[in-house]
């Protein structure tokens, strides 16, 4: 069963008061790739997308789950006006994903629950083009086990 993973993770991120909001590392929140970003100059934000072809990824040892679980690899491009702010926001997001260690958490009002995350990529700096676009970006990703609630 395939679930709308990027939308679910977006809802999960945006519900996290320790990540999103004024004076938080990811102050502008999470958006889906292709969505318009509101006030990007006023803080760090993430653009999320689901990578194609993700199977079980690095998540192993799952014997059985109810409600047809779905594995999905979601990547975040985290943007900010300075390298330090972009890295801080990407690290905060990556650390929050790493804390998803088997304590199921709802993904906002999507009807999807994150069961666990695994196979993390540490945040890495991605050079941006010299003209246009954002100033600085870090990329991080994880494989999520999701299920319909």
Longest dimension (CA), the chain: 50
CATH architecture for the domain at 5-148: 2-Layer Sandwich (3.30)
Mean pLDDT rounded to a whole number for the chain: 86
- 57 compared with 73, residue with greater pLDDT: 73
pLDDT grade for 59, boundaries at 50, 70 and 90: very low
Q: How far is CA 48 from the centre of its chain?
A: 6
- 93 compared with 1, residue with greater pLDDT: 93
Both structure tokens of 50: 């689901």
Q: Tell me the C-alpha distance between 138 and 46, whole Å.
A: 9
Q: Tell me the C-alpha distance between 81 and 102, whole Å.
A: 34
Instruction: Give pLDDT, residue 42.
Output: 78
User: Quick one: average pLDDT of 34-46?
Assistant: 81
On the question of pLDDT at 19 being above 90, the answer is yes
Question: pTM for the complete prediction?
Answer: 0.87
For the chain, the C-alpha Rg in angstroms (whole number) is 15
User: Quick one: average pLDDT of 116-139?
Assistant: 84
Q: Tell me the C-alpha distance between 139 and 149, whole Å.
A: 29
Q: Express as a percent the part of the chain with pLDDT over 70.
A: 82
Instruction: Give pLDDT, residue 127.
Output: 84
Instruction: Give pLDDT, residue 121.
Output: 94
Task: Give the strands of the sheet with 30-32, arranged side by side.
Answer: 30-32, 45-50, 70-80, 136-148, 112-126, 105-106
Instruction: Give pLDDT, residue 37.
Output: 81
User: What are 61-96's pLDDT values in tens digits?
Assistant: 444 455 578 899 999 999 998 899 999 999 999 999
The domains of the chain are located at 5-148
Q: Tell me the C-alpha distance between 139 and 108, whole Å.
A: 23
Interacting residues of 126 by C-beta distance below 8 A, sequence separation 6+: 77, 137, 138, 139
Going by C-alpha positions, the residue among 14, 146, 126, 149 that lies closest to residue 71 is 146
């Amino acid at each position: 069963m395939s679930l709308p993973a990027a939308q679910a993770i977006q809802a999960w991120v945006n519900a996290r008061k320790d990540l999103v909001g004024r004076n938080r590392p990811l102050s502008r929140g999470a958006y889906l790739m292709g969505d318009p970003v509101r006030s990007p100059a006023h803080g760090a934000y993430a653009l999320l997308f689901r990578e194609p072809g993700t199977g079980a990824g690095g998540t192993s040892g799952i014997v059985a789950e109810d409600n047809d679980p779905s594995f999905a690899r979601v990547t975040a491009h985290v943007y900010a006006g300075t390298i330090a702010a972009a890295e801080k926001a990407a690290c905060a997001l990556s650390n929050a994903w790493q804390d998803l260690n088997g304590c199921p958490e709802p993904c906002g009002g999507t009807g999807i629950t994150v069961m666990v995350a695994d196979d993390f990529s540490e945040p890495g700096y991605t050079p941006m083009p010299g003209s246009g676009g954002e100033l600085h970006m870090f990329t991080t990703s994880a494989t999520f086990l999701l299920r319909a609630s």
